[in-house]
Structure 1
Amino acid sequence: MQTHDSTAASGEQDPLAIESALLAELGAELVTTSADIDPRYFSAYNEAPGRRPLALVRPRSVGDVSRTLALCARLRQPVVPQGGLTGLARGGVALGGEIVLSMERFAGIESVDAAAATITVRAGTPLQAVQDAAAAAGFTFGVDLGARGSCQIGGTIATNAGGTRAIRYGVMREQVLGLEAVLADGTVLSSMNRMLKNNAGYDLKQLFIGSEGTLGIITRAVLRLRPKLGAPATAMCRVAGYDAVLRLWDRMRAVTDVVSFEAMWPSFYQYVSTHTPGVVAPFAGEDGFAVLIEFATSTPGGDAAQTLEACLADCLEAGLIDDAALATSERQARDMWTLREGLAIDELPHLVNFDVSLPTGELGAFAERCEAALRARWPDIVCVFFGHIGDGNVHIGVSLAELDDALADELDRTVYEVVQEMDGSISAEHGIGVLKRAYLACTRSDAEIALMRLLKAALDPQRILNPGKVL
């Protein structure tokens, strides 16, 4: 596994001197000293606590963020920006010698502009709060994730999160009109554009979207809103193989009401349908792919359930699907989504998650090649595939009876070599962080990486922002 390579500028400062300087500049209300930091601030998702930070700063304003970074720049003190800690690449955890800057207190909806269909929010605002505010104003927000209640807007922008609605509205990048970020030296860069069209020079917000806090810390954003969706309709289909999944997707994407199109490979569906307590699976775990489809319409008077039912009837008649179950209650729809979210696989021993993307038409061949490569090395491996499909994103869950750092590295190499051979991406929606840093070249060319390093050197010459992540 990738370890911290001491690329940050600090490491020689006295920790007590750092604490004292932070307290003197920011006060005890904003600063928590190392011994008193709750372990959740240095624990990656689904992992035991890691390295304790030198201090925790929880700003309440943009000015607090600016003062923190200006001080850290003077002290050459590394900083790890932190959102809801729902990412799977350890991008928000300290590796040793940093302070953590958590945005959780700088939260809230600042305004909704109904005429422009925008919402202005603070970085620490949970995604679900943005969704609720959009709904209250008569709109829909275009991104939805399983971690909606805990992930923060700043983090979703910093990782360019995707989620289950990307086929309808695009990923997080497509939702951001304007952005405010604080640079490594404390400079506040405010580009809070509220217009759909603005070609006045470089689009500077794009530097920070997907940069995982390595170029600046996102503090506020102007987000696009969409026409309000009616009640969703959800169904699960059984199809024979991946070619049938593609034919079904080709049929469904012609319907403007489709919001989500999620596929579960046979081994994944068999596992979650038998290991998810309290959930009634619509089909037995026999061979075949399970496909979850959600429709929702913004047309006044439109009936998504009626449209989806008619589509499924046509698909059955055309032989595109073998069986279908249309959810007739919120409970049934929730059960279908619970199966797809796959929380049951978290109980597998030494689970390693992968989040990759390839063109949709190649995902079936990728899964076959990837599983064959893994089983050639570990015949008894548990290997399951599931994902968003319509946007080319597949998740892989891999479990071995025993796992150490050397085996984890070998697992990564095995999967990412297949991704590289097929010209895919090693990260679809969780970023690079620490875990994928050593494999960035599997996805990016030497010229691209050189330009990334040039941008990093220009915006963060002391390398104090999220050191050891991405590059």
Structure 2
Amino acid sequence: MDIPGTLREPADLEKYRGDWSGLKGGLPAVVYRPASTAEVAAIVRSCRAQGARITVQGGLTGLAGGAAPDAGDVVISLERLNQVEDFDDIGGTITVQAGVPLAKLAEIVEARDWYFPLDIGARGSCQIGGNVSTNAGGNRVLRYGPMRDLVLGMEVVLADGTVMPMLNRVVKNNTGPDLKHLFIGTEGTFGIVTRVVLRLFPRPAVRRSALCAVASFAQVAQLLKQARGRLPGLSSFEVMWQEYLVAAARALGRAVPLGGGHPIYVLVEAEGSTAPQMQEIFEGFLGEMLEEGVVADVIVAQTQEQAQSLWDFRDAIGELLKQLSPFVSFDVGIPLRVTADYVETARARLQAAFPQASHLFFGHLGDGNLHIVSGPHASEADQLAVDEIVYGLVAEVGGSISAEHGIGRIKKPFLHLSRSETELEVMRALKRTLDAGDALNAGRIL
């Protein structure tokens, strides 16, 4: 069919074979780049008539291989579906098309003195539709929740090309099952998200950041509990084990902060007003943690530039992945009470099996989300062995094999470790109901 921006030449199609996970799919038959919901629906109806399978793509920043097509798939890239359609300055909502990049959205709303709190490392490339389909989390879930908590309404194209409008703009809407949740976190397998209504918040006047050196994970847990109860505006609680911080500093070409000799580091952020007493409360809290021995040392950023310098270490994962490639990446969910044991055991087993590789641990520990990067691992057999070590331990502690990246293709063989057979069968039944022909993102999750 004739859609402006369609790509058919093999050289043009190459870019659309995979995502940041490194998984390379087959060459698609065609890449459609629709600029409206009507075009998306027309493409889906045409594919249905021809029996063609569809791979839906956003910013290609996924780490689970969900955007990698099978050979001959029809790819629908939402990169041209990138307009802001409505901004409600009174109610604090914004309606955007699914292809709007996260960083662009943040820039637009902050220019009008509002705030969209989702923040992830791929902010410059990832798209809102992809954030919805994977239920993205990020650095500020502790205060605002994941994407699921930020979506008020949406519009979806179903597998038969039907457009389902659910563009709700109010927080409280108790009119039966909230159907939008069928499409949040289901990775495009139930329908194609085309438009989204998002919640906005008043823009914080300032963010206060501090890097704390901590002697043990028991003290990390104590610091988190105290910060939740006593630190107004707590928005982020990012934990980096020593090996990660040292590697990040090396990748950035900087000195390791606080000497680099402490076992664990915590990046604490609080949002609020510019009132002097708020800075006093922030610094006073950290001072008390030092006096009580919960924190061994601390750097309190005095300017936004200094704060960004501290956050650079946490955001250095992009540079690290390049150095560790071919790598294996994880975003597991671990109950806080067993996190210390999990990290110690996982590190020991990975180091024993692959002493030549680096094994780095960090994460959004305020919500139990632990990230692990291990590499380089040249062979697929080694990568699978790393998967089995990490996910096997997740099953032992009753955790989740994916906290925010999704299942995609890469984690599919391990989903049974986190979901019961009854849950999996309900998922299959929903898929059969919404996409009986298995046309949308086939082979993902299930």
Q: Tell me the equivalent position of 1:164.
A: 139
Give the distance between the partners of 2:277 and 2:104, measured in 1 at CA: 27
Q: Deviations over 1:334-385 (max 9, x none)?
A: 2211211233422024221111011223221211121223234334442110
Q: Which of 391, 394, 397 lines up with 1:419 in the alignment?
A: 394
Give the distance between the partners of 1:306 and 1:77, measured in 2 at CA: 62
Q: Tell me the equivalent position of 1:313.
A: 287
Give the distance between the partners of 2:428 and 2:378, measured in 1 at CA: 33
Structure 1 residues 423, 123: closer, same or farther in 2, change over 3 A? same
Q: Which of 424, 427, 432 lines up with 1:452 in the alignment?
A: 427
Q: Which of 89, 95, 101 lines up with 1:120 in the alignment?
A: 95
Give the distance between the partners of 2:194 and 2:442, measured in 1 at CA: 19
1:240-255 mapped onto 2 (5 Å cutoff): 240-254=215-229, 255=231
Q: Tell me the equivalent position of 1:340.
A: 314
The letter of the residue matching 2:345 is R
The letter of the residue matching 1:276 is L
Is the contact between residue 72 and residue 79 of structure 1 (CA under 8 Å) also seen in structure 2?
yes
Shift of 1:420: 0.7
Q: Tell me the equivalent position of 2:246.
A: 270
Is the contact between residue 245 and residue 256 of structure 2 (CA under 8 Å) also seen in structure 1?
no
Shift of 1:438: 0.7
- Secondary structure, in 3 states, of the residue corresponding to 2:221? helix
Give the distance between the partners of 1:386 and 1:98, measured in 2 at CA: 36
Percent identity of the aligned residues? 39
Give the distance between the partners of 1:464 and 1:51, measured in 2 at CA: 16
Is the contact between residue 296 and residue 304 of structure 1 (CA under 8 Å) also seen in structure 2?
no
Shift of 1:147: 1.4
Q: Tell me the equivalent position of 1:213.
A: 188
1:74-113 mapped onto 2 (5 Å cutoff): 74-113=49-88
The letter of the residue matching 1:111 is D
* Matching of residue 146 in structure 1 with residue 121 in structure 2: yes
1:27-426 mapped onto 2 (5 Å cutoff): 27=3, 29-45=4-20, 47=22, 50-254=25-229, 255-277=231-253, 279-297=254-272, 299=273, 301=275, 304-343=278-317, 344-346=319-321, 347-400=323-376, 402-426=377-401
Structure 1 residues 459, 170: closer, same or farther in 2, change over 3 A? same
Give the distance between the partners of 1:281 and 1:414, measured in 2 at CA: 30
Q: Deviations over 1:220-254 (max 9, x none)?
A: 01111112211211110111011111111111112
Give the distance between the partners of 2:114 and 2:219, measured in 1 at CA: 35
Q: Deviations over 1:375-406 (max 9, x none)?
A: 34334442110001001001001124x53122
Give the distance between the partners of 1:356 and 1:257, measured in 2 at CA: 26
Structure 1 residues 73, 232: closer, same or farther in 2, change over 3 A? same
Is the contact between residue 142 and residue 170 of structure 1 (CA under 8 Å) also seen in structure 2?
no
Shift of 1:300: 7.2
Is the contact between residue 295 and residue 305 of structure 1 (CA under 8 Å) also seen in structure 2?
no
Q: Deviations over 1:77-102 (max 9, x none)?
A: 01111111111001112132211111
Q: Deviations over 1:60-90 (max 9, x none)?
A: 1000000000011111101111111111001
Give the distance between the partners of 1:98 and 1:460, measured in 2 at CA: 16
Is the contact between residue 13 and residue 31 of structure 2 (CA under 8 Å) also seen in structure 1?
no
Name the TM-score, length of structure 1 as normaliser. 0.90
Is the contact between residue 260 and residue 294 of structure 1 (CA under 8 Å) also seen in structure 2?
yes
Shift of 1:303: 5.9
Give the distance between the partners of 1:95 and 1:419, measured in 2 at CA: 30
Give the distance between the partners of 1:303 and 1:352, measured in 2 at CA: 45
Structure 2 gap ranges (5+): none
Give the distance between the partners of 2:320 and 2:222, measured in 1 at CA: 28
Structure 1 gap ranges (5+): 1-21
Is the contact between residue 246 and residue 256 of structure 2 (CA under 8 Å) also seen in structure 1?
no
Q: Tell me the equivalent position of 1:443.
A: 418
Shift of 1:304: 4.8
- Secondary structure, in 3 states, of the residue corresponding to 1:32? coil
Give the distance between the partners of 1:214 and 1:303, measured in 2 at CA: 49
Shift of 1:272: 1.7
Is the contact between residue 32 and residue 77 of structure 2 (CA under 8 Å) also seen in structure 1?
yes
Give the distance between the partners of 1:302 and 1:359, measured in 2 at CA: 37
Flag the structure with more relative contact order, 1 or 2, with Cα contacts below 8 A and sequence separation at least 6: 1
Give the distance between the partners of 2:290 and 2:274, measured in 1 at CA: 28
Is the contact between residue 160 and residue 209 of structure 1 (CA under 8 Å) also seen in structure 2?
yes
Shift of 1:49: 5.7
Is the contact between residue 25 and residue 71 of structure 2 (CA under 8 Å) also seen in structure 1?
no
Name the TM-score, length of structure 2 as normaliser. 0.95
Q: Deviations over 1:420-441 (max 9, x none)?
A: 1111010111100011011110
Q: How many residues align?
A: 443
